[in-house]
Structure 1
Amino acid sequence: MRSVNNHCDLYDFSIWGNEDVSSGKGAKDENFPVGSLLISRKLRPHVQAYYNFARVIDDIADSEMLSSEEKVKRLNGMQAVLCDDVPAPDRADVQAARYLRNSLLETGVSFDTATDLLIAFRQDAVKNRYETFAELLEYCRYSANPVGHYLLDLHKENADIRPAADALCTSLQILNHLQDCRADLIRLDRCYIPLDMLRAENVDVQAVKDEGTISGLRNVFDYILDYIDDLNREAEQLIRLTSNRRLRMESSVILTLACSLTEHLRKEDPLATRVKLNYKDAIKAVLYACPHILR
């Protein structure tokens, strides 16, 4: 279990500010199902506790009201509450860490599945450009892949299937980056599109703020989507190897939605509008998952 080295400042409640920084987002705002009915009733509260914690720390990292230093302090505070149960304000955002702590202790799931997320969000607080695709993948290692590890551990799945789960989680993360690339740059001056890829197409990062995608930037998007296609194919192993029937169906739904969103992003312009899944995509995902009921 990881800890923050210096907790003395956490007893000064002023580091938390006077309010939380919730975005107001919930499961209904996500591309992919969060704690859906495919997850067993017994495990759903634990998945929700994990999601709530992730939502809170993501909101801290993306806050427009906090400085980088304040974001890091709050994220360190969330880790101290999570790992060491240190005193902190009795507030909804802080309670998310306490609830997850209790959940992880009850289920035996590794605390790393949560503290790794904090590594990524502390990075978001101080880093707003990615030089190479390798840098982006390293970010996804902490920002996305722990979610798959959490679900596998919660369902007592074999750790050998983690690489397939990593492929799916990384795919979902980069798809989200492409969806929100213009908004992220305008609102947070943050760009996850690798700079070396932009330079190779003679595209300045400021082109991501435009209301339409120029040809060079479209080439970059398509190259990234080609890589996502490879990730999605690798993630198919997750459906074959997952033992728990409910988690297998959930994984099938999410993978099908990831493939559908990849197709939308190839055909639509993420700078002109936020490319989204639709009702037909959801029906398709459910139908594709049905054969896994009998396995």
Structure 2
Amino acid sequence: MTTAAELRSGKTHRDENFPVASWIIHPRHRAPILAFYNFVRTADDIADHATLPADEKLRYLDLLEAELLGKGDSQEEAVHLRNALAQRSMPPRHALDLLIAFRMDVSKLRYENWDEVIHYCRYSAMPVGRFVLDVHGESTSTWVASDALCAGLQINNHLQDCAKDYKNLNRVYLPRDALAATGATVEMLGEPAAPAPLLQCLQALAARTESLLGEGKPLAAEVRDFRLGLEIAVIQAFANKIVRMLKVRDPLRDRVRLSPLELIGHSVAGLTGEAMRRAVGRPAQSRSAAGS
């Protein structure tokens, strides 16, 4: 039988829009985060597989869940994460939530409105931030800002990849009501460049995502762990730059990715800004101010 790992796309933690367990994170926390990432990446690649039938995708996702819960040892990523969680006496709740999202990806190809997209993010993105916070022993009070940041990161990705998702998977995360509001259609995602109504829709969604990222801005200051705070600040800097690009560029035609120089520059800016904030003891920015 083909293992779940053999269905991987080849994408690794180094290919994401944000750092994953980078050198900034304390070494003692990197192993469980990477075990979690590899499990999630495997499941995500199964849900996004271009040729695997839907029933087979669901069968593999069920198998990963079963082995994460201790019912078998054939899937390396599930066993590895199960062991990592056991070493920390952590439950599998966040990984199980993500599997809900990947099952949705198999069966749900359209979203009616923004609330449906946020509901999807509740399972596809928010558990990632919650897991990292739990690994660091942070308070669940940080989940509010984390959820907003993670949802913003997810929707950034949806906007960046909207044409690819439509062409390769017939999957559209752009809400139907947002498309209708500008006179755009799903079929416009197949064009080499976004027609004016679609571009208006995409840029309006980017503006809404920018507000969501603003709600997540206090997170770096809310966490106690210094190194985690730095990592979050870098992630926020990346996300802010990408959403600004999405507000003015056409993701069907234009490059909406950070270059190596931009990655370095925004990393330095994020690190420096958060380190200085902590050095002078400046309080966390309020959520209302962050969203303004």
Same fold by TM-score greater than 0.5: yes
Q: RMSD in angstroms over aligned alpha carbons?
A: 1.6
Residues 274 and 75 (structure 1 numbering): CA distance in 2 closer, same or farther, change over 3 Å? farther
Code of the aligned partner of 2:158: H
Task: Measure, in 1, the Cα distance between the counterparts of 2:248 and 2:273.
Answer: 29
Relative to structure 1, is the Cα distance of residues 246 and 17 closer, same or farther in structure 2, using a 3 angstrom cutoff?
closer
Using the alignment, how far apart are the partners of 1:36 and 1:42 within structure 2?
A: 12
Unpaired segments ≥5 residues, structure 2: 279-292
Deviation of 1:65 (Å): 2.3
SS of 1:69's equivalent in the other structure is helix
Equivalent residues in 2 for 1:80-229 (5 A)?
80-83=66-69, 85-89=70-74, 94-229=75-210
* Contact kept? 1:213, 1:272, Cα under 8 Å: yes
Matching residue within 45, 58, 74 for 1:59: 45
Answer yes or no: is 1:283 the counterpart of 2:280.
no
Q: Deviations over 1:181-233 (max 9, x none)?
A: 00110001111011111112221101011111111112211221121111121
Deviation at 1:257, TM superposition (A): 0.5
Mark the CA change 1:17 to 1:235 in structure 2 (over 3 Å): closer, same or farther.
closer
- Aligned partners of 1:218 and 1:210: how far apart in 2? 12
* Partners of 2:218 and 2:231 in 1: CA distance: 14
- Residues 19 and 43 of structure 1: is their aligned pair in 2 closer, same or farther, counting only changes over 3 Å? closer
How far 1:88 moved relative to its partner? 4.8
CA contact (8 A) 2:4 2:46 kept: no
TM-score normalised by L of structure 1? 0.89
Gaps of 5+ in 1: 1-13
1:21 aligns with: 7
Provide the C-alpha distance between the structure 2 equivalents of 1:65 and 1:137, rounded to a whole number of angstroms: 28
Specify the code of the residue in structure 2 equivalent to 1:152. Answer: L
AA in 2 matched with 1:82? L
Residue number in structure 2 paired with 1:293:
275
Amino acid at match of 2:272: C
**Does the CA-based 8 Å contact 1:260-1:281 persist in structure 2?**
no
Q: Structure 2 length as normaliser, TM-score?
A: 0.90
Matching of residue 77 in structure 1 with residue 59 in structure 2: no
Q: CA deviation at 1:108?
A: 2.7
Aligned with 1:37 (options 23, 28, 41): 23
Offset, 1:288: 2.7
Q: Deviations over 1:120-155 (max 9, x none)?
A: 001101111111111111000000000000011000
- Give the fraction of aligned pairs with identical amino acids, expressed as a percent: 37
Match of 1:48 in 2: 34
Residue 284 (structure 2) aligns with: none
What amino acid maps onto 1:22 in structure 2?
Answer: R
Q: Secondary structure at the match of 2:217?
A: helix
Structure 1 contact 245–292 (Cα < 8 Å) conserved: no
Is 2:211 the partner of 1:230?
yes
